[in-house]
Amino acid sequence: MQIRIAIVFLILFPFIHILKAQEMKGIKEFYQKNEYTLLSEYFSFLSLPNTFNDRTQLEDNATFILKMMQKAGIKSQLLYDKDKKCVPVVFGEINQPKATKTIIFYAHYDGQPVNPANWSTGLEPFKPQLLSDRLDKGGKFIDFPKPDVKFDPDWRIYGRSSADDKAGVFCIIKAYEAILNNGLNPNINIKFFFEGEEENGSVNLESVLEHNKDILKADLWVICDGPMPASGQKQITFGVRGDVNMHLTVFGPKRPLHSGNFGNWAPNPAHKLTRLLASMKDDHGKVLIDGYYDDVLALTEEEKLAIKNIEDPGPHLQAELGFAAAETEGMSFLESIISIPTLNINGFSAANTGRLASNVIPTTASAALDLRLVKGNTVEGQVNCVLNHIKKMGYHIVKEEPTDEERLKYPNIIFVATGKGYPAQRTPLTLPLAKKITEAVQQTSGRKVVIMPSAGGSLPLYLFEKVSGIYPITIPVVNYDNNQHAENENLLLGKLSDGILTMASVMMYKY
């Protein structure tokens, strides 16, 4: 019996394989045939401003996504938290009579704030543009081609959220549309979950998950967000770092003072802030704040092994990004990115620099800090380390503009605003369903799929585990050099078609 089954399997195996290959071909052809329409639609999507916290903008995006889903035959609706406080989640559902597994596909449609002045000439955050290559590599502006002209997969789309994370939303919906269009069916029940508050720290995600617990039952979340590795390999990521932002403002004189008439006498908040920030981190990137590394849980043996199996992208990245020395303590790129918490200055400002600089003592100096957390860290724990350090450095902390009394009483006054933040999350590398998905993704690539124990970036994935005990894994689809979160954000065109293929393969795999 066993031998017979084996023989049948051996005879059938090439057909299964061929069938898979044909299915893949069909998905690719769907994209190629409809490229002009698909990209026109994606450009319309990117033209909708989506700055986090701007509800009107975001609701326009949600409406747009709803329409895309309805066009693809997906039963869809908007989900909210109990009090309808949240920006809507766009939710959809496809049930297969014979499916035994349910996977929820997640992406987010809100974007980071934009400062158009920082974008290069000719680029605007919400006027997507095609370029022949990366702008800093000599990319030229390209007019949107006529319907019969082919798009080059090496071109790039520049615009806010072109990569983070409208690409995720688009690939997931279009993967399902491509499957249907080929007369095929997914082998799983699919749920679609598109969030509109991710860049705002997913402040209402927990209540949304709680409030919609019943319709969000599933076996796994597949998160389509974040960049692929610099090597260009496909990747499945089993965790994320946590994250919390802190905003600091040090106070100087109540009005800006002439640096000649008052310089050397009036306290300068910019000098103060440099001393405070400098006390937080040494020349090698080590955080000098007491207790900052105390709670860290070490990587598991499987996680350590997985990292060993990944080629260190450090040297390649270092050359490409143009610096001689990384700010690590002798760790490899991956180790430093996922095994210890970070303290990063996102930005600082005091009065003006460059052409706008003038000879003044500024009234305030501000900095935005980003704290990334690893497994073991809590938001409260890391924030308290920083607050205690600030106090140790002689500061009186205020929650609003200091009063005159406070100003005259305390020599050093700082305003601190802390974001909500969230902890890190890690899905066990040994999870069976996740292994199958690895195989599904592997089918779409000639190169080995990278198994990454944790991303350096953050998503509030701990919530999926916390609210309903469902593990998440992440499958990124966009190029690593996408300038995510910054000016000149861009998407390599070839990643869009390939992302659709990856998502379709996960939907069609027999689990």
Rounded (5°) CA angle 225-227-232: 135
Residue 326's beta-bridge partner residues?
Answer: none
Among 35, 197, 198, 481, binds a copy of itself (CB under 8 A): 481
Choose the binding region for a copy of itself from 5-13, 84-92, 145-153, 310-318 (rule: CB under 8 A): 310-318
CA distance readout (Å), 475 to 12, 213, 455, 505? 30, 23, 11, 12
In whole angstroms, how close is the CB of 323 to a copy of itself at the nearest point?
A: 5
Which phi and psi (to 5°) does residue 332 adopt? -75, 170
Quick one: 80 or 348, whose CB is closer to a copy of itself?
348
Among 171, 190, 250, 340, binds a copy of itself (CB under 8 A): 340
**Residue 20: burial class (beta carbons within 10 Å; 0-12, 13-18, 19+):** middle
Among 264, 399, 400, 446, binds a copy of itself (CB under 8 A): 264
407 touching a copy of itself, by CB under 8 A: yes
Preceding amide of 282 cis, omega within 30 = no
Residues 112-131 touching a copy of itself, rule: CB under 8 A, are 112-113, 115, 118
485 touching a copy of itself, by CB under 8 A: yes
In whole angstroms, how close is the CB of 138 to a copy of itself at the nearest point?
A: 14
Choose the binding region for a copy of itself from 145-153, 289-297, 440-448, 477-485 (rule: CB under 8 A): 477-485
Quick one: 240 or 500, whose CB is closer to a copy of itself?
240
5 touching a copy of itself, by CB under 8 A: no
Among 17, 392, 409, 435, binds a copy of itself (CB under 8 A): 409
In whole angstroms, how close is the CB of 407 to a copy of itself at the nearest point?
A: 4
Residues 133-162 touching a copy of itself, rule: CB under 8 A, are 136
Choose the binding region for a copy of itself from 143-151, 314-322, 376-384, 429-437 (rule: CB under 8 A): 314-322
119: tokens are 């974008």
Choose the binding region for a copy of itself from 37-45, 101-109, 186-194, 408-416 (rule: CB under 8 A): 408-416
Residues 428-467 touching a copy of itself, rule: CB under 8 A, are 455-458
Quickly list DSSP for 147-205.
Answer: TTSPPPTT-EEESTTTTTTHHHHHHHHHHHHHHHHTT---SSEEEEEEES-GGGT-TTH
268 touching a copy of itself, by CB under 8 A: yes
354 touching a copy of itself, by CB under 8 A: yes
271 touching a copy of itself, by CB under 8 A: yes
Quick one: 149 or 278, whose CB is closer to a copy of itself?
278
With beta carbons less than 8 A apart as the criterion, state whether 374 and 297 touch. Answer: yes
Residue located via tokens 């690593």? 480
In whole angstroms, how close is the CB of 451 to a copy of itself at the nearest point?
A: 17
CA 499, CA 501: separation in Å to the nearest integer?
5
DSSP 8-class letter at 25: H
Choose the binding region for a copy of itself from 101-109, 278-286, 295-303, 435-443 (rule: CB under 8 A): 278-286
Residues 366-385 touching a copy of itself, rule: CB under 8 A, are 366-368, 370, 372
Among 82, 85, 254, 308, binds a copy of itself (CB under 8 A): 254
CA 190, CA 105: separation in Å to the nearest integer?
7
Among 82, 84, 265, 510, binds a copy of itself (CB under 8 A): 265
CA 5, CA 9: separation in Å to the nearest integer?
6
Which phi and psi (to 5°) does residue 390 adopt? -60, -45
CA 282, CA 297: separation in Å to the nearest integer?
23
Residues 283-302 touching a copy of itself, rule: CB under 8 A, are 283, 285
154: tokens are 């090496």
How many residues interact with a copy of itself (rule CB under 8 A)?
103
Quickly list DSSP for 469-495.
Answer: ---EEE---B-S-S-TTSTT-EEEHHH
Choose the binding region for a copy of itself from 55-63, 72-80, 381-389, 479-487 (rule: CB under 8 A): 479-487
CA distance readout (Å), 86 to 60, 163, 468? 14, 23, 20
Q: From residue 212 to residue 231, what is the string marking binding to a copy of itself with x (rule CB under 8 A)?
A: --------------xx----
Preceding amide of 165 cis, omega within 30 = yes
With beta carbons less than 8 A apart as the criterion, state whether 240 and 458 touch. Answer: yes
262 touching a copy of itself, by CB under 8 A: yes
Quick one: 256 or 494, whose CB is closer to a copy of itself?
256
Amino acid making up residue 396: H
